[in-house]
Structure 1
Amino acid sequence: MNTEMKILSAVVAGGAAAAAVGLVRSGYERRHFVVEETTIYSEKIRNPRTLVFLTDLHDKEFGEANSQLLGSIRTIRPDLILIGGDVMVAKPGKASLEVTRRFLDGLCQLQAQTTGENTGKPFRIYYGNGNHEQRLGREYKTYGEMYREFRRILKDRNISYLSDRSVNLSEQIRISGLNLDPACYRDFIPARMTTEYLERHLGPADDSRFQILLAHSPLYFEQYADWGADLTLSGHFHGGTIRLPFVGGVMTPQYQFFHPYCAGEFEKDGKHMIVGRGLGTHSINIRFCNRPQLMVVRLLPKPDEPED
């Protein structure tokens, strides 16, 4: 074998070994989520609140009936749980609500057993739509009665469904769930958005309260902030599938590459957005340097400015 062939064989063997290691690592990551925490300060918050944000479960179960995930939530003792959508997978031939049902049943059982660390009361559960929930409702011929059954699951468990809807948690906090048009999820070139879009779907933001917005896609952070969202909670991008040091996420589900909003916390003029990496996968079942994530957000009063 000549030198060139030896070099080529070594490169091929090395590439195959690296791919095998990557697949093993990806499998490990997909089975092991992490709990990560951040703090948001606001003058609109007078009483601390701890919220758990989860998104993009996509029928994934960590332990039987998601016992590991529920165990972590029990330890956190949240005051409220916000679900950012895509708990299920709505794809022809793969759509099912069984994991969704088991997970929400587990949450409700936990709700009856756990009190929030700040309120001393059972946590409340709020559910916003992702593109998969909206697909169930829109494509009746494909998914039949599944959307109606999904609605029944939420109603029977007293889970607040925020489908283009807002609720006041207290005098301090308002929570809104935004539905995004299918064009917003279009591959490669999604639709543009204006602030008026949010006004049509949700009405004006509540400036007197800390305004939380559940908006599944993070693409439109500037519009969410201009509308008046003090905190936007998004997902959808699965952390960018593969994350590279100093670069971030590589590819979104809409085939945008190296998008800055793949995951993390962002700020614009005092408005915040948290983009969760999600918990599951579906079409592209890969995670690398991108562990599934359960997000804890602590809302705290803004500290007084020190006097000169």
Structure 2
Amino acid sequence: MRMTKKRLLVLMPILIAAVIVFLYYENNAIGITQYRLGSDKLPGGFESYRIVQLTDLHSKSFGKDQSTITRKVKKLKPDLIVMTGDLVDSKRYNTEVSLMLMRKMTEIAPVYYVTGNHEWGSRFPALAKGLRELGVHVMRNESETIKLGDGEIRIVGVDDPTFNHEAYDDVSRIKQHIAVALEDVDQSQTHYTILLSHRPELFAEYASQRFDLTFSGHAHGGQVRLPFLGGLVAPGQGFLPKYDGGKYTAGGSTMIVSRGLGNSIIPQRLFNRPEIVLVELARAD
């Protein structure tokens, strides 16, 4: 039976409304992805160490004063929060909403931050100053140790390659950034070492440097995710990116790539909701 014109006029607004609601949900309903990792390099004297990763906010707001993200992160009870770049967007450089999120996060746990490609430019020094005033650890090719249980772990943070125009390409730039971050580190030490670096496509380099765990973002989950194929396209990787989101291993190195929170050039996510990552570390004997 053919649909009558009257019935079609009734159904069309309902279908349009359903599509709008679905697209809004895909862009704004934050999911939680959890991983548990063990290593005999971790010190003893603790049961678990919970790390929340946020990335690629791109100046987006989730609720008034970032209340939606804040509520979700609080429930995860993190010991550490890492922000792996693109806190702001180069075209919507809204420092107010970005710093609001970081302010809320510092009230929950220590926060460590590294740059993404969108922070690059003349406005970054003011952003970095605001972050430091909030107590955020702005890691610009730096290394710190964090007390854990009866020992320590090391956290290393490097700038996105866009912040270094001396080296020829992204690989040589990131090598230079890592070298600067580790120049005062005693290489004979065997700390469990976490790297914060925005670019997942450089995982081969992170693995070659023997980082135990890397947190990365940048790929936005491939923006649109297709059944059986994964992400459709990601900056720096092109179509059907290898590192679009999830857990990757190479040798003894693990990389966690978050699908991120906001959008940039492409304004809509599809089958790829915003994501908060929780990694729980435990000693493996």
1:200 corresponds in structure 2 to 179
CA distance, structure 1, for counterparts of residue 174 and residue 163 of structure 2:
16
TM superposition shift of 1:155: 1.7
2:219 corresponds in structure 1 to 237
TM superposition shift of 1:194: 8.4
Q: Secondary structure at the match of 1:30?
A: helix
The verdict on how the C-alpha distance between 1:125 and 1:195 changes in structure 2, with shifts beyond 3 A counting, is closer
CA distance, structure 2, for counterparts of residue 237 and residue 21 of structure 1:
28
CA distance, structure 2, for counterparts of residue 152 and residue 281 of structure 1:
24
TM-score normalized with structure 1 length: 0.77
1:182 corresponds in structure 2 to 162
Task: Work out whether residues 183 and 191 of structure 1, in 8 Å CA contact, stay in contact via their aligned partners in 2.
Answer: no
TM superposition shift of 1:21: 7.0
CA distance, structure 1, for counterparts of residue 71 and residue 141 of structure 2:
31
1:37 corresponds in structure 2 to 34
TM superposition shift of 1:125: 0.9
Unaligned runs of 5+ in 1: 1-17, 112-122, 141-145
Q: Does 1:283 align with 2:265?
A: yes
Deviations 1:230-276 (A, max 9, x none): 00100001000011111110001346000110111001112100000
CA distance, structure 2, for counterparts of residue 84 and residue 32 of structure 1:
20
Letter paired with 2:103? D
Q: Secondary structure at the match of 1:174?
A: strand
TM superposition shift of 1:60: 1.4
Q: Secondary structure at the match of 2:65?
A: helix
Letter paired with 1:158? G
Q: Secondary structure at the match of 1:40?
A: strand
The verdict on how the C-alpha distance between 1:194 and 1:107 changes in structure 2, with shifts beyond 3 A counting, is closer
CA distance, structure 2, for counterparts of residue 283 and residue 154 of structure 1:
25
Q: Secondary structure at the match of 2:41?
A: coil
Task: Work out whether residues 89 and 96 of structure 1, in 8 Å CA contact, stay in contact via their aligned partners in 2.
Answer: yes
Count of aligned positions = 259
Deviations 1:104-153 (A, max 9, x none): 22223x33xxxxxxxxxxx21111111112x1xxx32xxxxx32321221
- Root-mean-square deviation (CA, aligned residues, Å) is 2.5
Unaligned runs of 5+ in 2: 1-14
CA distance, structure 1, for counterparts of residue 190 and residue 251 of structure 2:
17
After TM superposition, list the pairs within 5 Å mapping 1:210-221 onto structure 2.
Answer: 210-221=192-203
Task: Using the TM superposition, name which of 52-61 and 168-177 deviates more.
Answer: 168-177
Letter paired with 2:264? H
1:271 corresponds in structure 2 to 253
CA distance, structure 2, for counterparts of residue 264 and residue 249 of structure 1:
11
Task: Work out whether residues 193 and 220 of structure 1, in 8 Å CA contact, stay in contact via their aligned partners in 2.
Answer: no
Letter paired with 1:215? S
Task: Using the TM superposition, name which of 213-222 and 41-50 deviates more.
Answer: 41-50
